[in-house]
């Protein structure tokens, strides 16, 4: 790798890439082979602004935002890459107006997140969190009170039948014989033909499903999409799983439903105030399974997500990216 300001062996000036947070060595090494890679002391916007001048590319993970203000401070910026799928922490409209590509890794974490959803479903259905705690206390008699349910012939409602939602539906239908309901803006004919999936509106899906799994992006339209009205439509024996974005669920309404027995339990990998909250009311409940926005964090998926570096270098070499989110003007 050439030193900053020097040319490499091909005579090219090395690029400069701002990597908001460390990522897997596979992607980092690829970037370092062609660029100076810098990492800020934190993902606070003021720290980012101190580092961003002169960068050709930005790679962002879950922490930090790439705002219009950040882009204004980086006149050479040509591409913003999302290590993952969701781009709600990138001002895509501002990037498009400035002629900046936004790219992501839409297939990289599909299997990891789908498996995480199924794991949460099994933990809730078999009451494994409570069972584990009881065994550690030597309370073997819990085997008579912690009675679970089987997934077979249960109804799974998938909200957002994209890549991950479709994979969850496939696993649950083929492995457990679950019946698939789904809500999506467009019909998913392949899922209907291959899995027997039935498209329905949200109130019907929530009222009929034994498990509801959310797979929608965070947007003004999906903010608190799941609130008291839909939660009250669920069976008292049903479970809610959210691995999409925290703001999609009204957590205050969810906590109330869980405390009052409106639903049987929930599995959450994402939270409205994640990364900043030391304690949330939902932490006090026993009928939940909680993970720290890590559904996508398998060894394999982290490698695949880091290889967003390939599209970064493709754009910097003047080629169109393989996984564009926008079409810069």
CA dihedral 55, 308, 159, 112 (to 10 degrees): -130
Stretch (H or E) spanning 211: strand 211-214
Active site residue 245: yes
Take residue 57 and report the two structure tokens written for it: 């590319």
Residue 104 CA to its chain's centroid (Å): 12
CA distance 61 to 242: 19
Instruction: Let me know: does 287 contact 258? Beta carbons within 8 Å.
Output: yes
CA distance 156 to 178: 6
Q: Which residues on adjacent β-strands are paired with residue 37?
A: 17
How far is residue 154 from each of residues 150, 176, 238, 254, measured CA to CA in Å? 8, 9, 10, 22
CA distance 304 to 312: 14
Which residue in 98, 163, 198, 293 is the catalytic one?
293
Residues with Cβ within 8 Å of residue 13, at least 6 apart in sequence: 7
CA distance 306 to 105: 9
Q: Pick the closest to residue 165 from 124, 208, 205, 224 (CA basis).
A: 205
Which residue in 245, 251, 304, 310 is the catalytic one?
245
Q: What is residue 241's three-state secondary structure?
A: strand
Active site residue 115: no
Active site residue 61: no
Which residue in 198, 223, 274, 297 is the catalytic one?
274
Take residue 37 and report the two structure tokens written for it: 């890679």
Residues classed as catalytic = 245, 274, 293
């Amino acid at each position: 790798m050439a030193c900053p300001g020097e040319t490499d062996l091909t005579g090219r000036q090395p690029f400069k890439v701002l990597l908001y947070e460390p990522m897997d060595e596979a992607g980092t090494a690829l970037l370092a082979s062609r660029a100076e890679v810098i990492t800020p002391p934190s993902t606070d916007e003021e720290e980012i602004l101190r580092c961003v001048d002169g960068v050709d590319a930005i790679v962002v993970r879950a922490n930090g935002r790439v705002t219009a203000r950040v882009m204004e401070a980086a006149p050479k910026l040509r591409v913003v890459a999302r290590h993952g799928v969701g781009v709600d922490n990138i001002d895509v409209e501002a990037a498009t107006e400035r002629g900046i590509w936004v790219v992501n890794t839409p297939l990289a974490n599909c299997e990891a997140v789908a498996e995480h959803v199924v794991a949460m479903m099994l933990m809730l259905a078999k009451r494994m969190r409570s069972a584990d705690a009881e065994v550690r206390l030597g309370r073997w008699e819990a085997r008579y009170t912690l009675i679970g349910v089987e997934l077979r012939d249960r109804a799974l409602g998938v909200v957002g039948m994209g890549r991950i939602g479709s994979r969850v539906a496939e696993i649950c239908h083929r492995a457990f014989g679950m019946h698939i309901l789904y809500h999506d803006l467009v019909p998913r004919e392949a899922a209907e033909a291959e899995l027997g999936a039935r498209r329905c509106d949200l109130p019907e899906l929530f009222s009929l499903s034994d498990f509801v799994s959310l797979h929608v992006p965070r947007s003004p339209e999906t903010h608190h999409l799941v609130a008291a009205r839909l939660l009250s439509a669920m069976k008292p024996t049903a479970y809610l799983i959210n691995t999409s974005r925290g703001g999609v669920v009204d957590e205050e309404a969810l906590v109330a439903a869980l405390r009052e027995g409106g639903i049987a339990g929930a599995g959450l990998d994402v939270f409205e105030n994640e990364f900043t909250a030391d304690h949330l009311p939902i932490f006090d409940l026993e009928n939940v399974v909680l993970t720290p926005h890590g559904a996508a964090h398998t060894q394999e998926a982290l490698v695949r997500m880091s290889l967003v570096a390939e599209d970064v270098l493709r754009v910097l070499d003047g080629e169109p990216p393989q996984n564009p989110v926008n079409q810069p003007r």
